[in-house]
Amino acid sequence: MLILAFTFAAAALGGGLIAGTWIGMRPKADIGVGQSFLIWLALASAAFTTFAKSMEALPLALLFATLIGFIPFSLGYLVLRAAVARLRKRETLPAK
């Protein structure tokens, strides 16, 4: 169970870093951390139920991913979004 927790935490951190970078590159992004987390939650639950080969694992996947994944996802998202937005404002990175 501990390996599953670390896997969800690492996947959430990676998802937060990817989402934060993507949102930070957009000048007027209207997608917040909550909406990005829900997208990650749906993808993580789909991957978990596919790996388990059973839809009966969906409630466990949703609960586990929400409880373990929210803090790492939010941390990665907020830190990288701010860093990328700051670089974009300095005109180091091109805006899309």
Which tens digit of pLDDT belongs to each residue from 21-55?
Answer: 888 887 777 778 888 899 888 888 888 888 888 88
The answer as to whether 29 is a domain residue is: no
The answer as to whether 69 is a domain residue is: yes
pLDDT at 91 over 80: no
- pLDDT-derived band at 96 (thresholds 50, 70, 90) equals low
The answer as to whether 46 is a domain residue is: no
The number of folded domains in the chain is 1
- pTM score, whole prediction: 0.78
Q: What is the pLDDT of residue 49?
A: 87
Q: Which residues of 60-80 are buried (b: 16+ CB within 10 A; e: fewer)?
A: ebbebbbebbbebbbebbeeb
Its domain, for residue 78, covers: 53-88
The answer as to whether 16 is a domain residue is: no
